[in-house]
Chain A
Amino acid sequence: MCGIAGLIHRGKSSDVGKELQSMLQALKHRGPDSTGYALYADNDGQNFIMRFKVGENVGEGSTSINEDVSVYDTRKKMVDKKLSELGAIIVKEERLTPYSFRYEIKYDKDLMDFSKKIESVEMVEILSIGKSLELIKDLGDAKTVCDRYELNKVKGTHGIGHARMATESGVDIKSAHPFWGYPFADVSVVHNGQLTNYWNNRRALENKGMRFMSECDSELIAVFLAEKMRNGATLEEGMKESLTGLDGVFTYFVATKDSLGMAKDTMAAKPLVLYESDDLVAMGSEEIAIRSILPQEITTYDPFDGEVKVWQI
Protein backbone atom coordinates (compact mmCIF):
# COMPACT_ATOMS: atom_id res chain seq x y z
CA MET A 1 0.00 0.00 0.00
CA CYS A 2 1.74 3.11 -1.23
CA GLY A 3 0.36 6.54 -1.88
CA ILE A 4 0.80 8.28 -5.20
CA ALA A 5 -0.15 11.77 -6.25
CA GLY A 6 0.21 13.81 -9.39
CA LEU A 7 -0.91 17.13 -10.78
CA ILE A 8 -0.59 19.06 -13.99
CA HIS A 9 -1.36 22.73 -14.57
CA ARG A 10 -2.33 23.34 -18.15
CA GLY A 11 -1.07 26.53 -19.71
CA LYS A 12 0.54 28.03 -16.64
CA SER A 13 3.06 27.22 -13.96
CA SER A 14 2.45 27.20 -10.26
CA ASP A 15 4.02 26.22 -6.93
CA VAL A 16 4.11 22.52 -7.77
CA GLY A 17 6.66 21.80 -5.03
CA LYS A 18 4.41 23.16 -2.32
CA GLU A 19 1.24 21.62 -3.78
CA LEU A 20 2.74 18.17 -4.18
CA GLN A 21 4.14 18.36 -0.67
CA SER A 22 0.69 18.90 0.83
CA MET A 23 -0.83 16.18 -1.38
CA LEU A 24 1.79 13.65 -0.29
CA GLN A 25 1.62 14.69 3.34
CA ALA A 26 -2.12 13.89 3.24
CA LEU A 27 -1.19 10.39 2.04
CA LYS A 28 1.42 9.83 4.73
CA HIS A 29 -0.60 7.04 6.36
CA ARG A 30 -0.30 5.02 3.14
CA GLY A 31 3.49 5.02 3.16
CA PRO A 32 5.74 6.32 5.91
CA ASP A 33 9.04 4.78 4.72
CA SER A 34 10.24 7.16 2.06
CA THR A 35 8.97 10.00 -0.10
CA GLY A 36 9.92 10.97 -3.62
CA TYR A 37 9.14 13.88 -5.88
CA ALA A 38 9.51 14.30 -9.63
CA LEU A 39 8.93 17.96 -10.32
CA TYR A 40 8.99 19.57 -13.74
CA ALA A 41 10.39 22.95 -12.91
CA ASP A 42 10.63 26.16 -14.90
CA ASN A 43 14.28 25.95 -15.81
CA ASP A 44 15.84 27.76 -18.75
CA GLY A 45 16.06 24.53 -20.74
CA GLN A 46 19.67 25.16 -21.77
CA ASN A 47 21.50 22.67 -19.60
CA PHE A 48 20.84 19.20 -18.34
CA ILE A 49 20.09 18.86 -14.66
CA MET A 50 21.61 15.73 -13.25
CA ARG A 51 20.71 14.57 -9.78
CA PHE A 52 22.78 11.73 -8.43
CA LYS A 53 23.81 10.11 -5.20
CA VAL A 54 27.14 8.63 -4.24
CA GLY A 55 25.95 6.55 -1.30
CA GLU A 56 23.12 6.19 1.17
CA ASN A 57 23.94 7.26 4.68
CA VAL A 58 20.37 7.48 5.69
CA GLY A 59 20.71 5.82 9.06
CA GLU A 60 17.91 4.43 11.16
CA GLY A 61 15.19 2.44 9.47
CA SER A 62 17.27 1.92 6.38
CA THR A 63 18.49 -1.35 4.94
CA SER A 64 21.38 0.32 3.14
CA ILE A 65 25.02 0.10 4.18
CA ASN A 66 26.27 2.98 6.28
CA GLU A 67 29.61 4.26 5.11
CA ASP A 68 32.09 6.83 6.27
CA VAL A 69 31.29 10.25 4.83
CA SER A 70 34.86 10.69 3.57
CA VAL A 71 34.34 8.14 0.77
CA TYR A 72 31.68 10.41 -0.71
CA ASP A 73 34.25 13.09 -1.49
CA THR A 74 36.43 10.56 -3.25
CA ARG A 75 33.50 9.33 -5.31
CA LYS A 76 32.42 12.86 -6.16
CA LYS A 77 35.91 13.56 -7.47
CA MET A 78 35.72 10.42 -9.59
CA VAL A 79 32.36 11.54 -11.02
CA ASP A 80 33.84 14.96 -11.83
CA LYS A 81 36.73 13.24 -13.59
CA LYS A 82 34.35 11.07 -15.65
CA LEU A 83 32.38 14.17 -16.60
CA SER A 84 35.44 15.94 -17.92
CA GLU A 85 36.45 12.77 -19.81
CA LEU A 86 33.01 12.80 -21.46
CA GLY A 87 33.41 16.43 -22.45
CA ALA A 88 30.58 17.64 -20.21
CA ILE A 89 30.94 21.06 -18.62
CA ILE A 90 29.65 21.58 -15.08
CA VAL A 91 27.85 24.91 -15.02
CA LYS A 92 26.67 24.77 -11.45
CA GLU A 93 26.93 22.24 -8.64
CA GLU A 94 25.06 21.90 -5.37
CA ARG A 95 25.53 19.41 -2.56
CA LEU A 96 22.19 18.97 -0.84
CA THR A 97 23.03 16.22 1.64
CA PRO A 98 26.40 14.51 2.18
CA TYR A 99 25.43 11.89 -0.40
CA SER A 100 23.27 13.67 -2.97
CA PHE A 101 24.17 16.22 -5.59
CA ARG A 102 22.53 18.42 -8.19
CA TYR A 103 24.65 19.35 -11.19
CA GLU A 104 23.78 21.59 -14.09
CA ILE A 105 25.80 20.38 -17.02
CA LYS A 106 26.34 21.18 -20.67
CA TYR A 107 26.35 18.00 -22.71
CA ASP A 108 24.92 17.14 -26.11
CA LYS A 109 25.81 13.53 -26.86
CA ASP A 110 24.16 10.18 -26.12
CA LEU A 111 22.74 9.93 -22.61
CA MET A 112 23.02 6.15 -22.42
CA ASP A 113 26.83 6.20 -22.80
CA PHE A 114 26.94 9.14 -20.45
CA SER A 115 24.96 7.36 -17.71
CA LYS A 116 26.92 4.14 -18.10
CA LYS A 117 30.22 6.00 -17.65
CA ILE A 118 29.08 7.93 -14.58
CA GLU A 119 27.52 4.91 -12.94
CA SER A 120 30.67 2.86 -13.45
CA VAL A 121 31.89 4.63 -10.31
CA GLU A 122 31.16 2.44 -7.31
CA MET A 123 27.83 3.15 -5.51
CA VAL A 124 27.00 6.08 -7.78
CA GLU A 125 23.43 6.19 -9.06
CA ILE A 126 21.97 8.83 -11.33
CA LEU A 127 18.53 9.67 -9.97
CA SER A 128 17.52 11.70 -12.97
CA ILE A 129 18.71 13.61 -16.00
CA GLY A 130 16.51 16.13 -17.72
CA LYS A 131 16.15 19.69 -18.79
CA SER A 132 13.29 20.41 -16.43
CA LEU A 133 13.00 17.24 -14.29
CA GLU A 134 14.03 17.56 -10.65
CA LEU A 135 13.85 14.12 -9.08
CA ILE A 136 14.29 13.91 -5.33
CA LYS A 137 13.85 10.91 -3.10
CA ASP A 138 14.85 10.22 0.45
CA LEU A 139 13.67 8.55 3.62
CA GLY A 140 11.08 10.37 5.72
CA ASP A 141 7.66 11.85 5.18
CA ALA A 142 6.75 14.42 2.55
CA LYS A 143 7.48 17.43 4.73
CA THR A 144 10.86 16.15 5.93
CA VAL A 145 12.06 15.50 2.39
CA CYS A 146 10.59 18.76 1.09
CA ASP A 147 12.35 20.79 3.79
CA ARG A 148 15.65 18.95 3.40
CA TYR A 149 15.80 19.64 -0.32
CA GLU A 150 14.02 23.03 -0.23
CA LEU A 151 11.30 22.01 -2.67
CA ASN A 152 8.82 24.61 -1.45
CA LYS A 153 10.41 27.12 -3.76
CA VAL A 154 10.11 24.99 -6.90
CA LYS A 155 7.76 26.41 -9.49
CA GLY A 156 6.68 24.40 -12.48
CA THR A 157 3.86 22.97 -14.53
CA HIS A 158 3.51 19.41 -13.32
CA GLY A 159 4.84 16.80 -10.99
CA ILE A 160 4.30 13.33 -9.54
CA GLY A 161 5.11 12.03 -6.11
CA HIS A 162 5.13 8.91 -4.02
CA ALA A 163 4.85 7.97 -0.36
CA ARG A 164 6.29 4.50 -0.03
CA MET A 165 5.45 1.55 2.15
CA ALA A 166 8.14 -0.99 1.29
CA THR A 167 6.63 -4.40 0.54
CA GLU A 168 8.74 -5.92 -2.23
CA SER A 169 12.22 -4.60 -1.39
CA GLY A 170 14.21 -2.76 1.26
CA VAL A 171 13.81 0.63 2.85
CA ASP A 172 16.50 2.64 1.08
CA ILE A 173 16.84 5.40 -1.45
CA LYS A 174 17.66 3.17 -4.39
CA SER A 175 14.31 1.37 -4.04
CA ALA A 176 12.37 4.57 -3.44
CA HIS A 177 10.15 6.09 -6.10
CA PRO A 178 9.93 7.91 -8.49
CA PHE A 179 12.08 6.07 -11.00
CA TRP A 180 13.80 7.79 -13.83
CA GLY A 181 13.08 6.38 -17.29
CA TYR A 182 16.74 5.62 -18.02
CA PRO A 183 18.19 6.73 -20.45
CA PHE A 184 15.48 9.21 -21.46
CA ALA A 185 15.75 12.79 -20.30
CA ASP A 186 12.74 14.04 -18.33
CA VAL A 187 10.87 10.72 -17.91
CA SER A 188 9.77 9.57 -14.45
CA VAL A 189 7.41 6.97 -13.01
CA VAL A 190 5.63 6.37 -9.71
CA HIS A 191 3.74 3.19 -8.93
CA ASN A 192 1.33 1.82 -6.36
CA GLY A 193 0.98 -1.95 -6.39
CA GLN A 194 2.90 -5.16 -6.96
CA LEU A 195 4.21 -6.62 -10.21
CA THR A 196 4.31 -10.37 -10.41
CA ASN A 197 6.28 -10.96 -13.62
CA TYR A 198 9.20 -8.77 -12.60
CA TRP A 199 12.05 -11.25 -13.06
CA ASN A 200 10.88 -12.54 -16.46
CA ASN A 201 10.55 -9.00 -17.78
CA ARG A 202 13.79 -7.91 -16.16
CA ARG A 203 15.77 -10.72 -17.80
CA ALA A 204 14.30 -9.92 -21.22
CA LEU A 205 14.94 -6.19 -20.86
CA GLU A 206 18.46 -6.64 -19.53
CA ASN A 207 19.23 -8.73 -22.59
CA LYS A 208 18.20 -5.72 -24.65
CA GLY A 209 20.73 -3.55 -22.83
CA MET A 210 18.44 -1.78 -20.35
CA ARG A 211 19.71 -1.10 -16.83
CA PHE A 212 18.17 -1.91 -13.44
CA MET A 213 19.55 -0.21 -10.35
CA SER A 214 17.41 -1.77 -7.62
CA GLU A 215 15.38 -4.88 -6.99
CA CYS A 216 12.23 -2.86 -6.62
CA ASP A 217 9.46 -4.19 -8.87
CA SER A 218 8.26 -0.69 -9.72
CA GLU A 219 11.49 0.13 -11.51
CA LEU A 220 10.34 -2.31 -14.16
CA ILE A 221 7.58 0.08 -15.29
CA ALA A 222 10.07 2.86 -16.01
CA VAL A 223 12.39 0.50 -17.87
CA PHE A 224 9.51 -1.18 -19.72
CA LEU A 225 8.17 2.17 -20.98
CA ALA A 226 11.65 3.47 -21.80
CA GLU A 227 12.29 0.39 -23.91
CA LYS A 228 9.01 0.84 -25.80
CA MET A 229 9.77 4.51 -26.41
CA ARG A 230 13.28 3.72 -27.56
CA ASN A 231 11.67 1.56 -30.26
CA GLY A 232 9.55 4.45 -31.44
CA ALA A 233 6.29 4.05 -29.49
CA THR A 234 4.61 7.13 -28.07
CA LEU A 235 4.07 7.37 -24.33
CA GLU A 236 0.40 6.46 -24.63
CA GLU A 237 1.11 3.44 -26.85
CA GLY A 238 3.76 2.24 -24.43
CA MET A 239 1.37 2.60 -21.53
CA LYS A 240 -1.37 0.65 -23.34
CA GLU A 241 1.11 -2.14 -24.02
CA SER A 242 2.08 -2.20 -20.36
CA LEU A 243 -1.47 -3.24 -19.41
CA THR A 244 -0.87 -6.64 -20.99
CA GLY A 245 2.94 -6.75 -20.71
CA LEU A 246 2.98 -6.21 -16.97
CA ASP A 247 1.29 -8.66 -14.64
CA GLY A 248 0.02 -7.87 -11.18
CA VAL A 249 -1.87 -5.03 -9.61
CA PHE A 250 -0.83 -1.50 -10.35
CA THR A 251 -1.84 2.09 -10.72
CA TYR A 252 1.00 4.18 -12.01
CA PHE A 253 1.75 7.69 -13.26
CA VAL A 254 4.32 8.64 -15.88
CA ALA A 255 5.49 12.16 -16.50
CA THR A 256 7.53 13.56 -19.35
CA LYS A 257 8.68 17.07 -20.14
CA ASP A 258 5.26 18.15 -21.39
CA SER A 259 2.78 15.45 -20.38
CA LEU A 260 1.42 13.41 -17.53
CA GLY A 261 -0.19 10.00 -17.86
CA MET A 262 -1.94 7.44 -15.68
CA ALA A 263 -2.66 3.75 -16.15
CA LYS A 264 -4.68 1.34 -14.07
CA ASP A 265 -4.43 -2.45 -14.31
CA THR A 266 -7.23 -4.59 -15.72
CA MET A 267 -8.35 -5.71 -12.26
CA ALA A 268 -8.52 -2.13 -10.94
CA ALA A 269 -7.20 -3.38 -7.63
CA LYS A 270 -5.36 -0.22 -6.66
CA PRO A 271 -7.24 2.96 -5.91
CA LEU A 272 -7.13 6.24 -7.77
CA VAL A 273 -9.28 9.33 -7.56
CA LEU A 274 -9.16 11.86 -10.35
CA TYR A 275 -10.12 15.51 -10.68
CA GLU A 276 -10.13 17.06 -14.12
CA SER A 277 -10.78 20.66 -15.10
CA ASP A 278 -9.70 22.88 -17.97
CA ASP A 279 -6.64 24.26 -16.24
CA LEU A 280 -5.77 21.61 -13.66
CA VAL A 281 -5.73 17.83 -13.39
CA ALA A 282 -5.02 16.43 -9.95
CA MET A 283 -5.03 12.78 -8.94
CA GLY A 284 -4.11 10.71 -5.96
CA SER A 285 -4.62 7.39 -4.21
CA GLU A 286 -7.21 9.01 -1.97
CA GLU A 287 -9.48 11.99 -2.35
CA ILE A 288 -7.98 13.70 0.70
CA ALA A 289 -4.81 14.27 -1.33
CA ILE A 290 -6.74 16.29 -3.90
CA ARG A 291 -8.69 18.08 -1.17
CA SER A 292 -5.48 19.28 0.43
CA ILE A 293 -4.97 21.63 -2.53
CA LEU A 294 -8.61 22.10 -3.56
CA PRO A 295 -10.68 22.59 -0.41
CA GLN A 296 -13.81 23.73 -2.27
CA GLU A 297 -16.50 21.31 -3.42
CA ILE A 298 -15.31 19.57 -6.60
CA THR A 299 -16.39 16.65 -8.74
CA THR A 300 -14.03 13.72 -8.72
CA TYR A 301 -14.28 10.16 -9.97
CA ASP A 302 -12.47 6.81 -10.01
CA PRO A 303 -11.02 5.77 -13.38
CA PHE A 304 -12.12 2.35 -14.61
CA ASP A 305 -10.09 -0.84 -14.97
CA GLY A 306 -7.56 -0.86 -17.80
CA GLU A 307 -7.86 2.88 -18.26
CA VAL A 308 -4.99 4.89 -19.74
CA LYS A 309 -5.07 8.68 -19.86
CA VAL A 310 -2.47 11.22 -20.93
CA TRP A 311 -2.67 14.99 -20.49
CA GLN A 312 -0.49 17.62 -22.14
CA ILE A 313 0.53 20.84 -20.45
Chain B
Amino acid sequence: MANLKTDQKKTKAQSMGMHTEVLTGKTQQKFFNPDEAENFFYWGTHDVDFNKRTELDVKDLDCKEANRKIDSLMSEGYGTIVIKNPQGKHSLGVGILNKLNLIFEGSLGYFGVGSIDGPIVRVNGRVGWSCAENMMAGKVVIEKNAGSCFGAAIRGGFLLIL
Protein backbone atom coordinates (compact mmCIF):
# COMPACT_ATOMS: atom_id res chain seq x y z
CA MET B 1 0.00 0.00 0.00
CA ALA B 2 1.29 3.43 -0.83
CA ASN B 3 2.27 5.51 2.13
CA LEU B 4 0.64 8.93 1.90
CA LYS B 5 2.84 10.40 4.60
CA THR B 6 6.05 9.68 2.74
CA ASP B 7 4.81 10.16 -0.83
CA GLN B 8 5.54 13.42 -2.57
CA LYS B 9 2.56 15.63 -3.29
CA LYS B 10 2.90 15.15 -7.03
CA THR B 11 2.71 11.41 -6.79
CA LYS B 12 0.03 11.21 -4.12
CA ALA B 13 -2.83 11.43 -6.60
CA GLN B 14 -1.04 9.05 -8.90
CA SER B 15 -0.52 6.49 -6.17
CA MET B 16 -4.19 6.66 -5.31
CA GLY B 17 -4.91 5.78 -8.91
CA MET B 18 -6.70 9.01 -9.75
CA HIS B 19 -4.85 9.45 -13.02
CA THR B 20 -5.80 6.07 -14.38
CA GLU B 21 -9.26 5.91 -12.83
CA VAL B 22 -12.12 5.72 -15.29
CA LEU B 23 -14.83 8.07 -14.09
CA THR B 24 -17.92 6.22 -15.11
CA GLY B 25 -19.70 6.13 -11.78
CA LYS B 26 -18.81 2.54 -11.22
CA THR B 27 -15.55 3.61 -9.70
CA GLN B 28 -17.48 5.02 -6.76
CA GLN B 29 -19.02 1.63 -6.11
CA LYS B 30 -15.71 -0.08 -6.36
CA PHE B 31 -13.96 2.45 -4.16
CA PHE B 32 -16.32 1.99 -1.23
CA ASN B 33 -17.08 -1.67 -1.59
CA PRO B 34 -17.29 -2.91 2.03
CA ASP B 35 -16.45 -6.43 1.01
CA GLU B 36 -12.92 -5.41 0.41
CA ALA B 37 -11.25 -5.11 3.77
CA GLU B 38 -8.65 -2.68 2.55
CA ASN B 39 -11.30 0.00 2.19
CA PHE B 40 -11.51 0.18 5.96
CA PHE B 41 -7.95 1.43 6.22
CA TYR B 42 -6.59 4.81 5.38
CA TRP B 43 -4.16 5.21 2.59
CA GLY B 44 -0.71 5.32 4.03
CA THR B 45 -1.44 3.33 7.15
CA HIS B 46 0.59 0.34 8.19
CA ASP B 47 -0.15 -3.28 8.76
CA VAL B 48 0.90 -3.84 12.37
CA ASP B 49 1.08 -6.84 14.66
CA PHE B 50 -0.18 -6.29 18.24
CA ASN B 51 2.20 -8.96 19.51
CA LYS B 52 5.20 -7.04 18.28
CA ARG B 53 6.09 -4.75 21.18
CA THR B 54 8.67 -2.00 21.50
CA GLU B 55 9.57 0.86 23.82
CA LEU B 56 10.29 4.45 22.89
CA ASP B 57 11.95 6.90 25.26
CA VAL B 58 10.83 10.42 24.36
CA LYS B 59 12.76 12.20 27.10
CA ASP B 60 15.07 14.03 24.70
CA LEU B 61 12.72 14.22 21.73
CA ASP B 62 10.39 17.09 20.91
CA CYS B 63 6.80 16.34 19.92
CA LYS B 64 7.42 16.30 16.17
CA GLU B 65 10.36 13.94 16.47
CA ALA B 66 8.44 11.67 18.82
CA ASN B 67 5.39 11.51 16.55
CA ARG B 68 7.54 10.77 13.51
CA LYS B 69 9.28 8.04 15.47
CA ILE B 70 5.93 6.47 16.38
CA ASP B 71 5.00 6.50 12.70
CA SER B 72 8.25 4.90 11.65
CA LEU B 73 7.88 2.19 14.31
CA MET B 74 4.41 1.41 12.97
CA SER B 75 5.83 1.14 9.47
CA GLU B 76 8.19 -1.52 10.82
CA GLY B 77 5.13 -3.45 11.95
CA TYR B 78 5.18 -2.77 15.70
CA GLY B 79 1.63 -2.94 17.02
CA THR B 80 2.32 -2.23 20.70
CA ILE B 81 4.38 0.84 21.50
CA VAL B 82 5.23 1.85 25.07
CA ILE B 83 6.21 5.50 25.42
CA LYS B 84 8.62 6.11 28.28
CA ASN B 85 9.15 9.47 30.00
CA PRO B 86 6.46 11.58 28.31
CA GLN B 87 6.94 14.01 31.24
CA GLY B 88 4.06 16.28 30.41
CA LYS B 89 5.11 16.97 26.83
CA HIS B 90 2.47 18.45 24.55
CA SER B 91 0.95 16.97 21.38
CA LEU B 92 2.25 13.43 21.75
CA GLY B 93 0.62 10.66 19.73
CA VAL B 94 -1.48 12.93 17.53
CA GLY B 95 -2.89 12.04 14.13
CA ILE B 96 -2.56 8.25 14.38
CA LEU B 97 -4.90 6.74 11.78
CA ASN B 98 -3.80 3.18 12.38
CA LYS B 99 -4.73 0.34 14.65
CA LEU B 100 -2.19 0.39 17.42
CA ASN B 101 -1.75 -0.34 21.11
CA LEU B 102 -0.21 2.82 22.53
CA ILE B 103 0.81 2.96 26.18
CA PHE B 104 2.15 6.09 27.84
CA GLU B 105 4.10 5.46 31.03
CA GLY B 106 3.62 8.88 32.54
CA SER B 107 1.62 12.04 32.00
CA LEU B 108 0.83 13.99 28.86
CA GLY B 109 0.71 17.76 28.53
CA TYR B 110 -1.83 19.57 26.38
CA PHE B 111 -3.33 18.28 23.10
CA GLY B 112 -2.33 14.65 23.66
CA VAL B 113 -3.55 11.97 21.21
CA GLY B 114 -5.63 14.43 19.17
CA SER B 115 -7.29 13.58 15.82
CA ILE B 116 -6.84 9.86 16.17
CA ASP B 117 -8.76 7.18 14.30
CA GLY B 118 -8.24 3.67 15.52
CA PRO B 119 -5.58 3.26 18.18
CA ILE B 120 -6.12 1.95 21.69
CA VAL B 121 -4.37 4.35 24.06
CA ARG B 122 -3.65 3.88 27.75
CA VAL B 123 -2.10 6.69 29.80
CA ASN B 124 -0.65 5.67 33.18
CA GLY B 125 -0.54 9.27 34.38
CA ARG B 126 -2.76 12.25 33.76
CA VAL B 127 -3.49 14.36 30.70
CA GLY B 128 -3.66 18.13 30.44
CA TRP B 129 -6.12 20.24 28.49
CA SER B 130 -7.61 19.11 25.17
CA CYS B 131 -6.74 15.43 25.16
CA ALA B 132 -8.27 13.20 22.47
CA GLU B 133 -9.88 16.09 20.62
CA ASN B 134 -11.50 15.32 17.29
CA MET B 135 -11.28 11.58 17.78
CA MET B 136 -12.99 9.40 15.18
CA ALA B 137 -12.55 5.90 16.56
CA GLY B 138 -10.49 3.94 19.05
CA LYS B 139 -10.17 3.88 22.82
CA VAL B 140 -8.47 6.25 25.25
CA VAL B 141 -8.07 5.20 28.88
CA ILE B 142 -6.64 7.65 31.44
CA GLU B 143 -5.57 6.27 34.81
CA LYS B 144 -5.26 9.51 36.79
CA ASN B 145 -7.13 12.68 35.84
CA ALA B 146 -7.83 14.81 32.80
CA GLY B 147 -7.88 18.57 32.17
CA SER B 148 -10.58 20.61 30.43
CA CYS B 149 -11.87 19.85 26.92
CA PHE B 150 -11.18 16.13 27.21
CA GLY B 151 -12.57 14.49 24.10
CA ALA B 152 -13.97 17.71 22.64
CA ALA B 153 -15.57 17.36 19.20
CA ILE B 154 -15.28 13.59 19.04
CA ARG B 155 -17.21 11.72 16.35
CA GLY B 156 -16.78 8.23 17.72
CA GLY B 157 -14.65 6.03 19.90
CA PHE B 158 -14.50 5.34 23.60
CA LEU B 159 -13.09 7.55 26.38
CA LEU B 160 -12.52 6.44 29.95
CA ILE B 161 -11.03 8.13 33.00
CA LEU B 162 -10.43 5.58 35.75
What is the bound-complex CA distance between A95 and B39, given in angstroms? 71
Contact of B128 among A268, A287, A299 (CB under 8 A): A287
Total CB contacts across the A-B interface at under 8 A: 46
Size bin of chain B's contact surface = 10 to 19
A239 to chain B, nearest CB (A): 22
Of B21-29, B47-55, B103-111, B151-159, the one contacting chain A is B103-111
Measured CB to CB, the closest approach of chain A to B120, in angstroms, equals 22
Closest to B110 in A: A286
Give per-residue flags for A263-288: 1 if the beta carbon is below 8 A from chain B beta carbons, else 0. 00000100101000000000000111
The reply to whether B126 and A301 form a contact with Cβ atoms under 8 Å apart is: yes
Which B residues between 25 and 77 are near A, CB-CB below 8 angstroms? none
Main secondary structure of the interface of B (DSSP, over half): loop
How many A residues are at the interface, by size bracket?
A: 10 to 19
Are the C-beta atoms of B126 and A300 separated by less than 8 Å? yes
A302's closest neighbor in chain B, by CB?
A: B147
Residue in A288, A297, A300 whose beta carbon sits within 8 Å of that of B90 in the complex: A288
B5 at the interface (CB under 8 A from A): no
Main secondary structure of the interface of A (DSSP, over half): loop
- Known contacts A287-B88, A288-B87; A271 and B128 CB within 8 A of each other: yes
* Nearest neighbor of B88 in chain A, beta-carbon distance: A287
CB contact list, B66-120 vs A, under 8 A = 85, 87-90, 105-107, 109-110
Judge whether B11 is part of the interface by a CB distance below 8 angstroms.
Answer: no
Bound together, the chains give a CA A299 to CA B143 distance in angstroms of 11
Shortest distance from the beta carbon of B147 to any chain A beta carbon, whole Å:
5
CB distance from A247 to the nearest CB of B (A): 20
19 sample A-B contacts, Cβ–Cβ < 8 Å, listed by A number: A271-B110, A271-B147, A273-B128, A286-B88, A286-B109, A287-B88, A287-B107, A287-B109, A287-B128, A288-B87, A288-B88, A288-B89, A288-B90, A290-B88, A297-B106, A297-B125, A299-B126, A302-B147, A302-B148
